[in-house]
Structure 1
Amino acid sequence: MMKNSILNLCKVAILAVFVSCSSETEEIPEVRKAATDPFNGTTSDKTGTSERNPGPGGGVMMQAFYWDVPAGGTWYNTIKSKIADWDAAGISAIWLPPVSKAQNGPFSMGYDPADYFDLGEYNQHGSVETRFGSKAELLSLINTAHNNNIQVYADIVLNHNSGGDLEANPYTGTNTYTDFDPASGKFYRSASDFHPNANVYNDEGIFGGFPDLSHSQPYVQDWLWNRSDGVGKYYKNTIGFDGWRFDYVKGFGGWVVREWNYNVGGFSVGEYWDGNAQKLQDWVNSTNRTSSAFDFACYYRMDEAFDGNNLNILASGDMLWKRDAAKAVTFVTNHDTDVIWDKMHAYAYIMTHEGYPTVFYSDYEEWLDKDKLNNLIWIHRNKAVGSTSILYADNDEYVAKRNGSPGLVVYLNDSNNWVERWVETNWSNTVIKDYTGNSNWEPTTQSGKWVKIQCPPNSYTIWSPK
């Protein structure tokens, strides 16, 4: 969703210090990344790694930007410089901000799109480059990512356009900013391509007063997903994007994403900003299950659990990953919203549970302990396999296991004391260890698969066979 700063509001960045117990962690072996399928291994019992299989637990996405990244056309090169390190850490895909030229040109974060085919090569809207760089720099970044077996997802803004010229609008009887004459020479738009028009008065939503693109118009459909030189196929087949993050999908019907995915292909996740898991599931179904959705229900339940000191919510709360793990993209924060203060517990949760976990750039590069995040990424890719069983929950403690092979048991402790608990695992007569290094115990499970595990104050442990 577009940030309020586009509407000339200020964003206040709130930073916090997050504390958890730490000690040495196991050396993290090199792991190969997914070439096409980020969910490969999410609920299977596959072992081994390859380009098609990024470890048995599946891939991890990096949101490769935050709101108001430095202007000046340097961001693509900044991300490119980090690709090798992210590759080594186990990142399998990166999500970029909108790449096309927007109304605010060199100052825009891209959520006010004007010319979908100007990726930083035409002098319009105040600059040649976008805020993030030139088309050549974008292509170099994508090429570098692909050489490291990292997928690249484009942020696609289809609901609205901005930066058109004023014209007489016969459908409103007023003058509207709906005359788009792009420098790229592609996808000219006029009043008939927006709402209202001769065929359709409105769709599901208007954002920020911007001209609302009418996806029901055949001309618009052609330029977005049907034409071989249209937006979707140009981004995928020429520029090299592997998938899509669809912005503000509440603003149009799920059929739009369905048609894009049928005609263009690639991974797909929608920003349906709602904490109701049923609504998220309904939206996924409205795309004929061609798209995943960000699990806002999980996001808000984690905030209630970790910041509200009530881990029972993790057991009782409804989340998309519990309903439809293969279509849930989990996250701890993003460029639009950052409400969870106890972030390390939240990352431990999403990296050990089902779904496709996302790491936020600022969390990884600036705010949190990178070594601990790398450790969780490795655990996710190598241990987090199979369905999930919740073993215990109260205000302070939460224990769950993944039932695949190798599988894991995660123990979250939100209290100020060391805690211990007997749990039933999937392993008989097996030595297990805590792969976070937060506990040095190496207990042996009983023949009946029970074992006692422990967790330090305000921390987490993650257990799997040694």
Structure 2
Amino acid sequence: MKKTHFLVSMLALALFSSCQNGDENDNESRGSQEVHSKTVNVTNHDGRPFSTGSGSINGKFVSGPGGGVLMQGFYWDVPDGGNWWNTVKGKLTDWSNAGISAVWLPPASKAQNGAYSMGYDPTDYYDFGNFNQNGSVETRFGSRTELEALITKAHAENMQVYADIVINHNSGGQSQANPFTGTSTWTDFSGVASGKFQRSYNDFYKNSYGNNDEGAFGGFPDLCHANPYVQDWLWGRDDSVGKYYKNVMKFDGWRFDYVKGFGPWVVNNWNSNVGGFSVGELWDSNVNTLEWWANNANSSVFDFAAYYKMDEAFDNGNLNVLNDDMMWKRNPYKAVTFVANHDTDIINNKMPAYAYILTHEGYPTIFYRDYEEWLNKERLNNLIWIHNNKATGTTSILYTDNDEYIARRNGYNGNPGLVVYINNSSSWQERWIETNWSSQQIKDFTGNSSWYPTTQGDKWVKIQAPPNSYSIWSLNQ
């Protein structure tokens, strides 16, 4: 859901020089370097969609050992006019070739503002741009036929498609007398054009089931999930919203909007009855709250704890905060990491943040405008490749200070893992670190350093990182 504090950062980051300092054969003793090492007790995340194989074959994505990457396929106020589904469809092959395994779409059904709505004010869950209601046939994004063509194309590219699901509130109903409020409320949805999931005042709070649930949003009628009729239409019956989206429209998963507005049992029941990948938008930086919700919802959750720590680290010059707790450290299988989205965009120094989420555990998300408009696509594609092919195993934090952060992915099932070195300072930095590899040559897969050092027999080696940038090291193979 769009938040009032939405900020837009249109910082276009310049390519950093790939020049290097020092001698790649430098045998300086590491004894003069103070190295702090911390192992994060988390399991590696190899359970995301399309978690086997590697590379891209004829434009069809097959993820490598590191798993897949999610693309948020929209931003707030994408162009209206009904062409967005076609726009996204036209990019799927390039995204697949880049190593992106799934795309998250905006709310696809007809909303109160019809052809002008971003979809977060839903009226008829079964109108995908094929009924003339709320002033238009098509949605802002296009027609049902165009949406189905997009989903078919994504599946042909071996990519999954996630639907943005708004079930906290509805909008666009007609006025009716409401005995529970003693007033008239906009809760009459008996005339929805699809004829499915017709609603009235007793399907919204306050009603015979109570006065309220966990939260309402924006003055919209607050859907009552305690009502068995609502449950049946959302996930129970064969033509419920969830099952229709999955079995008829062929969506593969769900991004649940504003899950603070209802109990985690709602998403748990949806997932149990419908299936598919799911992630909740629980806008909270408290990692305990995120973990509690994810466990009770049986769902992934966006890692807002990591998001705010990255802002402090990369924008405010305090990389030490990356030692703090985050959802991906608690449970990487249920953590979806991100640098920006359609609601919030507070991180200005984005490339180090993408280097962070694409080398660490969790399921990383790329924001459409960062990829297609604002940042350097070649550098992002490089990070996606590194993620898919090298980012395996548990994570050990090797060194942190205000300006430098070094972490090691310890490898998994024969994959060598990597070492990422992020440097916020204005000069080249070097550190001795302990790797996964004994007496083997390594290289920086970003190309920012031209060193090709060989690790010592005890696995130690000196690496470097360019100013205001990063390097990512693994076996030269």
Q: Give the C-alpha shift of residue 179 in structure 1.
A: 0.3
Aligned to 2:12: 17
TM-fit CA distance, 1:224: 0.3
Q: Does 2:177 match 1:182?
A: no
Q: Which deviations, in whole Å up to 9, do the C-alpha atoms of 1:183-237 show, x marking residues without a partner?
A: 0111110000000111222100000010000001010011000011110000000
Q: Among 296, 309, 318, which residue is 2:317 paired with?
A: 309
Q: Which residue of 1 aligns with 2:27?
A: none
How has the CA–CA distance of structure 1 residues 371 and 448 changed in structure 2, closer, same or farther, with 3 Å as cutoff? same
| More deviation, 275-284/92-101 | 275-284
Letter in 1 for 2:95: W
The answer for the alignment partner of 2:2 in structure 1 is 2
Amino acid at match of 2:238: S
**Measured at CA, do residues 189 and 126 of structure 1 come closer, stay the same or move farther in structure 2, by a change above 3 Å?**
same
Q: 5+ unaligned residues in a row in structure 2: which ranges?
A: 20-43
The corresponding residue for 1:459 is 469
Contact 1:41–1:385 (Cα < 8 Å) also in 2: no
How big is the shift at 1:182? 0.4
User: Structure 2 CA distance, aligned partners of 1:65 and 1:460?
Assistant: 28
Q: Offset of 1:112 from its aligned partner?
A: 0.1
Once the two structures are TM-superposed, the CA of residue 416 in structure 1 deviates from its matched residue by: 0.4
| Mapping of residues 226-241 of structure 1, within 5 Å | 226-241=236-251
Q: Which residue of 2 aligns with 1:342?
A: 349
Root-mean-square deviation (CA, aligned residues, Å) is: 1.8
Counterpart CA distance in 2 for 1:189 and 1:39 is 41
Given candidates 292, 298, 308, the residue that maps to 1:300 is: 308
Amino acid at match of 2:164: D
State the SS of the aligned residue for 2:358. helix
Map of 1:34 onto structure 2: none
Match of 2:379 among 361, 372, 390: 372
Q: 8 Å contact 1:39–1:59 — kept in the other structure?
A: no
**Selected match of 1:128 from 137, 140, 161:** 137
Residues 413, 52 of structure 1: alpha-carbon distance in 2 compared, 3 angstrom cutoff: closer
C-alpha deviation, 1:21, in angstroms: 1.4
TM-score by length of 2: 0.90
**Alignment-derived partner of residue 83 in structure 2:** 74
**Which residue matches 1:381?**
388
Give the Å deviation of 1:54. Answer: 1.5
1:392-451 CA-to-partner distances (Å, cap 9, x unmatched) read 000010000000122000000000000000000010011000000000000000000000
Alignment of 1:377-456 (within 5 A): 377-404=384-411, 405-456=415-466
SS in 2 for 1:463: strand
Cα distance in 2 for partners of 1:236, 1:46 equals 23
Structure 2 CA distance for aligned equivalents of residues 90 and 320 of structure 1: 24
Question: Cα–Cα, structure 1 residues 178 and 47, in superposed 2: closer, same or farther, change >3 Å?
Answer: closer
Residue 126 of structure 2 is aligned with which of 117, 129, 149? 117
How many angstroms apart in 1 are the aligned matches of 2:290 and 2:379? 30
Corresponding residue for residue 155 of structure 2: 146
Cα pair 2:7 2:344 within 8 Å, conserved:
no
Alpha-carbon offset, residue 12 of structure 1:
6.4
Contact 2:8-2:346 at 8 Å conserved across structures: no
CA–CA separation in structure 1 for the residues paired with 2:61 and 2:425: 41
CA distance in 1, matches of 2:9, 2:462: 39
Kindly state the Cα deviation for residue 39 of structure 1 after the two structures are TM-superposed.
Answer: 5.5
Q: Is the 8 A contact 1:41 1:57 kept in 2?
A: no
2:46 paired residue number: 40
Select 2:329's aligned residue among 315, 322, 327. Answer: 322
Q: 1 CA distance for matches of 2:185 and 2:114?
A: 20
Higher RCO (CA-CA < 8 Å; seq separation 6+): 2
Aligned residue among 359, 364, 374 for 1:352: 359
Q: TM-score, normalised by structure 1?
A: 0.92
Matches within 5 A, 1:79-228: 79-180=88-189, 181-228=191-238
The one-character-per-residue Cα deviations of 1:213-264 (angstroms, maximum 9, x if unpaired) are 0001010011000011110000000000000000000000000000000000
**Given the superposition, is the C-alpha separation of residues 243 and 41 from structure 1 closer, same or farther in structure 2, using an over 3 Å criterion?**
closer
Aligned partner of 1:363 in structure 2 is 370
| Amino acid of the structure 2 residue aligned with 1:139 | E
Q: Does 1:278 align with 2:282?
A: no
Distance 1:444 1:41, change over 3 A: farther
Aligned pair count reads: 443
Alignment gaps of 5+ in structure 1: 5-9, 25-37
Contact kept, 8 Å, 1:41 with 1:55, in 2: the verdict is no
Of stretches 215-224 and 15-24 in structure 1, the one that deviates more from structure 2 is: 15-24
Do 2:61 and 2:99's aligned partners in 1 also have CA atoms closer than 8 Å? no
Any runs of at least 4 consecutive aligned residues in structure 1 with deviations exceeding 3 A, and if so which?
Answer: 10-14, 38-42, 45-53
**Residue 259 (structure 1) aligned to one of 269, 289, 295:** 269
Q: Which residue identity is paired with 1:2? A: K
Q: CA shift at 1:318, angstroms?
A: 1.5
Instruction: Return closer, same or farther for 1:409/1:230 CA change in 2, 3 Å cut-off.
Output: same
Cα distance in 2 for partners of 1:217, 1:12 equals 37
Deviation for aligned residue 1:41: 5.4
Please say if residues 295 and 331 of structure 1, whose CA atoms lie closer than 8 Å, have aligned partners that are also in contact: yes
For 2:33, the equivalent position in structure 1 comes to none
